Amino acid sequence: MRILRFTGFTLLEYLRSGRVALEIVATLVVYFVFLRRVGLGMNAEYFFSVTGVYTPALTLYSTAAFIGIGDRPQGYVLLSRGLSRASYLLGIFLSSLVIVAGSYGLLSIMAALFNRPPDLDLAGWLLGTLPLLLNVGLLSALMIMLSPLVFATGWRLFVLGLIALAFSSNFIGGTVLESLPEVVRTLLRAVQAILGGPLVPAFYGFQLAVTRDYSTGTAVANLFAQASLLISLLGLAIYSFSRRDLIFSQ
């Protein structure tokens, strides 16, 4: 319950600061540029392709803004009260989630009112929204975990290095990869495969939102994988935050 009260507290401050105007304007711009499509019509696949890219992009901004709100000396007073460190971190996470989900909801309502995809009903919207919002949560949790509030610089750079390695097949592949010694090549492929593993649920989640194909068990398994990954990231962030010295940015 205290988490929800702190979420309300953070959201109210965010609304009063006027920063939410950026999210509203960005959402309106995305609607008018990509989803209004006068005379072109719109199907469900296109709708989820656009929102599947827009919501993670918005998550980057909104979560960064909430991390900024949380990483201030004002937090000392709040944390000196009954609010636990876990509640504090989860409150910041939920606040960013509410703002991004709210923007997505606004986009969906405008699309439903003014340019409804004929092949998308409420059930289909829910099936597409679920993996999409799980991806939003994953990205937000990752950002919070990598924030200065939670991870010390050394650990942050280490995790960012692992993420870079996971994506390295995009720039270390083909002829570059073939030119490397066999041992290095094998090792790099193994590392890329291992580190790329956690990225699979996120990418498959995007695909699932677009296709909404739940005919195989893989789709449901992916939802569990997304949820598990989300819980793991949040758990790691809370664990790290609870153990470290609390020093807010000035």
CA R_g for the chain? 20
Helix (H, G, I), strand (E, B) or coil at 89: helix
Q: Kindly state whether residue 246 participates in binding another protein, applying the rule CB under 8 A.
A: yes
Q: Hunting for tokens 């939802």 — which residue is that? A: 223
Q: Which stretch binds another protein (CB under 8 A): 2-10, 29-37, 115-123, 165-173?
A: 2-10
Q: Kindly state whether residue 130 participates in binding another protein, applying the rule CB under 8 A.
A: no
d(CA 58, CA 100): 7
Asked if 84 contacts 148 with a C-beta cutoff of 8 angstroms, the reply is no
* Near another protein in 6-25, by CB under 8 A: 6, 9, 12-13, 16-17
Which residue lies nearer to another protein by CB, 96 or 192?
Answer: 96
* Near another protein in 157-186, by CB under 8 A: none
Asked if 173 contacts 95 with a C-beta cutoff of 8 angstroms, the reply is no
Phi and psi dihedrals of 214, rounded to 5? -105, 25
Q: Give how many residues touch another protein by CB under 8 A.
A: 24
Would you mind telling me the total number of residues written for the chain in this entry?
A: 250
* Near another protein in 49-108, by CB under 8 A: 72-74, 76-84
Asked if 205 contacts 132 with a C-beta cutoff of 8 angstroms, the reply is yes
Q: Which stretch binds another protein (CB under 8 A): 30-38, 153-161, 173-181, 240-248?
A: 240-248
Which residues of the shown chain bind another protein in the complex (CB under 8 A)? 2, 5-6, 9, 12-13, 16-17, 72-74, 76-84, 243, 245-247
